[in-house]
Amino acid sequence: MVKLQSTTVITAVLSLFLALSYLPCTVKATALTYKVGSKEKACFYVWNDKPGKKVGFYFAVQQGGAFDIDFDIIDPKGESILKGQEEKQGDYVFSAGLVGEYSFCFSNAMSTWADKLLDFEISIENEQASRQYQANNDDKDKPAKVTDIEESLSRIASSVTKIVRKQKYLRTRENRNFATVISTESRIFWFASLESCAIVIMACLQISVVKSFFSLKRGGV
């Protein structure tokens, strides 16, 4: 009985690895963290070798200034596809209709002194290749278990992507809230320091006035 269960588990694991080996590698993604200096413009480039691919673009400003930045996406012809000003976070998907190099640029020109730390991710998915793969493998000879495993893996990958995006959003909110707390603490400290200095100055002035009053009184006598 134990040997039968072990054999079943081993068969399931081998089937899973077999399905993974048959899945096409249709998604390429690049995730980076970059600090954009004040008055700086930074561009990153992605090469598209086939029209019709879906391009995903996500970014979020983690630190610096008002947590905003300008961005611009430029196609191989030099025309702007998407652009925004003073954006804190963005998540876009578009179809790359041209073959060539796409530019993803961030500009911190509006900031005179604050650097911006941002996370961004650029992904390219060959949807046509995925459909062609499914069409070529949609026959009667394909085992039903492998098809079910592929569908399950696809759903798991989609769920993992959503979880990662949600975690990035929560991380961004946490960083911004933390920066707000630090800024509030700094303002409270300096306000309390100025208030203490004002109290000390007022006390010294009061003492000086009282001393001068008694000095004049003695001179008159």
DSSP alpha helix (H) spans, the chain: 2-22, 127-136, 144-220
Confidence at residue 175, expressed as pLDDT on a 0 to 100 scale: 78
Q: Could you say which residues of the chain have pLDDT below 50? A: 1-6, 9-26, 128-131, 133, 221
Question: Using CA atoms, how far apart are residues 135 and 147, in angstroms rounded to an integer?
Answer: 13
> Mind spelling out the 3-state secondary structure of 11-47?
HHHHHHHHHHHHCCCCEEEEEEEEEECCCCEEEEEEE
Confidence at residue 4, expressed as pLDDT on a 0 to 100 scale: 39
Confidence at residue 16, expressed as pLDDT on a 0 to 100 scale: 46
Confidence at residue 174, expressed as pLDDT on a 0 to 100 scale: 84
Confidence at residue 35, expressed as pLDDT on a 0 to 100 scale: 92
Backbone angles phi, psi at 77, to 5 degrees: -85, -5
Q: Is 76 exposed, middle or buried (0-12, 13-18, 19+ CB in 10 A)?
A: middle
Q: Taking Cα atoms as reference points, which of 83, 135, 92, 85 lies closest to residue 110?
A: 85
Confidence at residue 145, expressed as pLDDT on a 0 to 100 scale: 59
Tokens of 1: 């009985």
Confidence at residue 202, expressed as pLDDT on a 0 to 100 scale: 93
| SS3 category, 129 | helix
Distances (CA, A) of 148 to 2, 130, 133: 27, 16, 16
Confidence at residue 103, expressed as pLDDT on a 0 to 100 scale: 95
Q: At what angle do helices 144-220 and 2-22 cross, to 10 degrees?
A: 80
Confidence at residue 29, expressed as pLDDT on a 0 to 100 scale: 61
* Radius of gyration, CA atoms only, the chain: 31
pTM over 0.85: no
Helix (H) or strand (E) holding 93: strand 89-96
CA dihedral of residues 163, 169, 170, 175 (deg, nearest 10)? 150
Distances (CA, A) of 51 to 29, 123, 175, 184: 17, 15, 38, 50
Confidence at residue 22, expressed as pLDDT on a 0 to 100 scale: 44
